Structure 1
Amino acid sequence: MGLQYQAINRTELDKAYNNTQAIDNFPEVYANFQKRSQHTYSTLACTRDIFYHDKERTRLDFFDCGINGAPTLIFIHGGYWQNCTKEDFAFIAEGPIKNGVNVILVEYTLAPEASMTQIVGEIGIMLDFLRHNASRFKLSEGKVCLSGHSAGGHLTALHSWHPLISHAMPISALVDLRPISLCWLNDKLQLTELEIESFSPVQLTAGNVPTQVCVGGGELPELIEHSRLYYQHLLDSHIPAEYLAVEGKNHFSLLEQLSSDNGAVTQALLHLLSTE
């Protein structure tokens, strides 16, 4: 089908990328995320706010499942590169932790304070930091999955080539910045032509690691199409990949399938980590 940004006007394009208005109760949903995340911090073993760089937001949290040799999920939160914090999404650690997977939650500088170039660079710095401190974070070679949701999925797709990463799981990822540059999201991002060209994963060579593409079957059509296009891009590049569209789940309820120990995304993660 392809992305529809060239066939619709600005008003329609803005709506096509407005996840919060696509559901009736976003404030309640997000408040629940925050409440659940507070509970997660209070109940799971976690070292918080470890700086990986010299900016105020360049911090990460390390959740330790307590099992020697456990695999690790590195998770980058979404928010269209301009909203949210890692603290709002700590609840997603519960599913992996209960299944013996360590979790690292990543924070980064947001637009408009940071350009896309800076944001992408910070994720690279974070991965270098973790690689150089692998023993501190109990990282086992061949057992490190990079994941992220929405904008975090975009940053995941851009960094799947990093030598630390053995697996990748972009969730509801945005993989083509061209429509992003034409809608309301660009008011703060102010993407340059070079950034659009350099940071659109569907136009770039992906890391040759097993990849699980996840999306909600009830998401906005454009978001689903981003995931479908990226999955096809991986197949065309002969990269081992699987595609999961979780029926009935929207952009936000999909994350509950990672926070649950038997959720569809959690189970897909465990299957992914079992592949080489």
Structure 2
Amino acid sequence: MPNQTAHAYDAQATVTPDRFGRIMADYLEQSARATADLPGHTDVVYDRPSGQLLDVWGVGDTPHPTFFVVHGGYWRALSRQHTAFMAALLAERGIATVAIDYGLAPATTLPEIVRQVRAAYAFVRLRGHDLGINTERVVVGGSSAGAHLAAMTMVGGRWAHDAGLDGRTATEGLLISGLYDLRPLVDAPANAWLNLTEDTASEVSPALAPPPSRASTVVVARAANEAAGFSAQSDDLHSHWSPSLTCRSMTVPDRDHFDVFLDLADPTSSLSASLAALIESTDVRTES
């Protein structure tokens, strides 16, 4: 059973080491190119206790709708500098990009990582207007671990009151290749750096939390080539949330767990179209 669990949740095993390295380099290089000529705000401290930072790209003279994007890396790698490759395309469409950092495992526990990402979302909603953000039109999203963390800003619970949001969680989300019930990771190799117990895994599992509000719209996306655990959890989250809110399932052909995220920089991709539709849905919501 442990070997089966390890295989089901080993995303990196679905690509060769060379391909994995090239895609990680592409994240960084494409992000640098995308932001080179964009107006924005960098190194903004969003959470004083941890000192964690965010960048805002593609703002203008009026407050812009915004994509709040969270990087993956199995909660232990990568950064906001790897996660802005979509910023130039979004800026052309009048959309800002917020890319955030968070403390990495094992030095930072997963409950604390979740707290930090929620603090970043609250910061954007409460103080984003000063950074050129339309704080009522924020779509959250991310890939892999980033999808899990973005989902944690959408689910209900005491946190949204404690953060000063009057209980208002994120209502639009693009969740790509994520894990949403972390209990299987207790028996997977990833627990070497996550140090989860059954209790803490349950605590940070969006699939086990109160679902997003009925007004929410979510796209649960995955690549055609995913490890079995990632595919199954995307299906399970879609099934779990669909009765309560607008939740669409999406499989991106000819993509793997890692390169699918880069589709957000391609104006012709289905992921890019899905993000545009989510941004548009925030406009409808604010006008209603």
TM-score (norm 1): 0.90
In structure 2, how many angstroms separate the alpha carbons of the residues matched to 1:171 and 1:107? Answer: 18
- 1:202 maps to which of 195, 200, 207: 207
Larger relative strand fraction = 2
Instruction: Please give the secondary structure, in 1, of the residue aligned with 2:134.
Output: coil
Question: What is the match of residue 17 of structure 1?
Answer: 9
Question: What is the match of residue 55 of structure 2?
Answer: 61
2:58–2:88 contact (8 Å) kept in structure 1:
no
Q: Does the alignment pair 1:222 with 2:214?
A: no
2:27–2:262 contact (8 Å) kept in structure 1:
no
In structure 2, how many angstroms separate the alpha carbons of the residues matched to 1:212 and 1:157? Answer: 11
More displaced stretch, 251-260 vs 12-21: 12-21
1:93–1:103 contact (8 Å) kept in structure 2:
yes
1:10–1:183 contact (8 Å) kept in structure 2:
yes
1:51–1:58 contact (8 Å) kept in structure 2:
yes
More displaced stretch, 26-35 vs 167-176: 26-35
More displaced stretch, 64-73 vs 219-228: 64-73
Question: What is the match of residue 107 of structure 2?
Answer: 113
TM-score (norm 2): 0.86
Deviation at 1:151, TM superposition (A): 0.8
| 1:72-151 equivalences in 2 (<5 Å) | 72-151=66-145
Unmatched segments (≥5 aa) in structure 2: 161-167
Deviation at 1:269, TM superposition (A): 0.9
Percent identity, please: 23
Question: What is the match of residue 271 of structure 2?
Answer: 265
Q: Does the alignment pair 1:190 with 2:184?
A: no
More displaced stretch, 24-33 vs 72-81: 24-33
Q: Which letter maps to 1:21?
A: A
How far does the alpha carbon of each residue in 1:69-94 deviate from its partner, in whole angstroms, 9 at most, with x for none? 43110000001111111112221323
In structure 2, how many angstroms separate the alpha carbons of the residues matched to 1:53 and 1:78? Answer: 20
How far does the alpha carbon of each residue in 1:15-74 deviate from its partner, in whole angstroms, 9 at most, with x for none? 322222211211122122222222123232232111112366611010124363431100
More displaced stretch, 96-105 vs 163-172: 163-172
How far does the alpha carbon of each residue in 1:119-166 deviate from its partner, in whole angstroms, 9 at most, with x for none? 111112212222221311333254111111111111111111452633
Report the number of matched residues: 267
Question: What is the match of residue 254 of structure 1?
Answer: 260
Question: What is the match of residue 4 of structure 1?
Answer: none
- Structure-2 change in CA distance of 1:164 and 1:135 (3 Å): farther
Instruction: Please give the secondary structure, in 1, of the residue aligned with 2:242.
Output: helix
